[in-house]
């Protein structure tokens, strides 16, 4: 099994006619993902890579039964694209676009909460259930089917840890990059809950970073609700206060959000914390 996406995923690509959209759609199709539609206003009736293009998400959903949308449109239009997907009844929206304005995301979050739409991102690599479906930009060739769930705020660290897991023979159930923006979709706790409920996920890797309190909340949730082994890594351990490190949400302010606080929170609930990313794989092997 897996979480969020699988063989039943019918993927719609918003922005399929753009360079990024075409490139990653091709990769998803080659991986075996069922890409059923694309959407670019004004390009309806065309076909890209054999995928029919529609002018609106509603038309695409009505004619193809799409149930997941991935967004590769510029930041200025990303919020409207997300809202269009939600209003058309898409239950899961994955936004890869970076630099989406915070005020736009506040509006999106409000509407998604009202409608019950799940969101991954923005500014994220998406997710992949190895051997089943690839939604986003995580390289399929480094993933192998298995029983380790992974959730991360960092895209590149996701790739590094997944590659290390695969090389030592520990495949993945689903890998989810939630993104590092201050306002975003599903968080650590929500993904941990899904992994806890998934019978095919036997252990979990959590990759956090400085800034905010999401990791501390995740640690508290693990102590109260997660019975499976969890290992963690915190990026940005050498970041100076007030210096943004990579993500808009990865900044230490007012003495909060430090790596030390997050590491302490995990240690307090008996979650091993890796010293460097690939050590996550070594710790998982010990836990399984």
Active site residues: 247
Answer whether the bond into residue 122 is a cis peptide, omega within 30°.
Answer: yes
Distance CA 149, CA 152 (A): 10
Distance CA 222, CA 216 (A): 10
Q: Edge-to-edge strand order for the sheet containing 68-71?
A: 47-48, 51-54, 35-39, 11-14, 68-71, 92-95, 118-120
Contact 82, 73 (CB under 8 A): no
Query: Which phi-psi region, left, alpha or beta, contains residue 123 (left: φ > 0; alpha: ψ -120 to 50)?
Result: left
Q: Edge-to-edge strand order for the sheet containing 145-152?
A: 133-136, 126-129, 172-177, 145-152, 203-209, 230-235
Residues 6 or more apart from 194 whose CB is under 8 A from it?
A: 3, 4
Q: What is the DSSP letter of 222?
A: H
3-state secondary structure 259-286: HHHHHHHHHHCCCCECCCCCHHHHHHHH
What value does the CA radius of gyration of the chain take, rounded to a whole number of Å?
18
């Amino acid at each position: 099994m897996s979480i969020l996406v699988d063989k039943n995923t019918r993927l719609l690509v918003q922005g399929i006619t753009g360079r990024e959209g075409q490139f990653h759609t091709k990769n998803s199709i080659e991986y075996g993902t069922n890409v059923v539609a694309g959407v670019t206003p004004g390009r309806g009736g065309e076909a890209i890579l054999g995928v029919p293009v529609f002018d609106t998400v509603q038309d695409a959903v009505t004619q193809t039964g799409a149930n997941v949308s991935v967004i590769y449109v510029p930041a200025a239009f990303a919020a409207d694209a997300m809202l269009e997907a939600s209003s058309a009844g898409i239950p899961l929206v994955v936004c890869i676009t970076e630099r989406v304005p915070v005020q736009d995301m506040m509006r999106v979050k409000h509407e998604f909460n009202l409608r019950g739409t799940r969101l991954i991102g923005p500014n994220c690599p998406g997710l992949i259930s190895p051997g089943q479906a690839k939604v986003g930009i995580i390289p399929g060739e480094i993933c192998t089917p298995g029983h380790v769930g992974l959730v991360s705020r960092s895209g590149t660290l996701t790739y590094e840890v997944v590659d290390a897991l695969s090389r030592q023979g520990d495949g993945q159930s689903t890998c989810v990059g939630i993104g590092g923006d201050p306002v975003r979709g599903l968080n650590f706790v929500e993904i941990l809950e899904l992994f806890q409920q998934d019978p095919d996920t036997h252990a979990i890797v959590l990759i956090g970073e400085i800034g905010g309190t999401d990791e501390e909340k995740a640690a508290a949730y693990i102590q109260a609700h997660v019975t499976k082994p969890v290992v963690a890594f915190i990026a940005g351990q050498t970041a100076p206060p007030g210096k943004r490190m990579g993500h808009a949400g990865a900044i230490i302010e007012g003495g909060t959000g430090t790596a030390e606080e997050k590491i302490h929170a995990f240690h307090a609930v008996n979650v091993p914390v890796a010293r460097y990313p690939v050590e996550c794989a070594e710790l998982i092997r010990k836990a399984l």
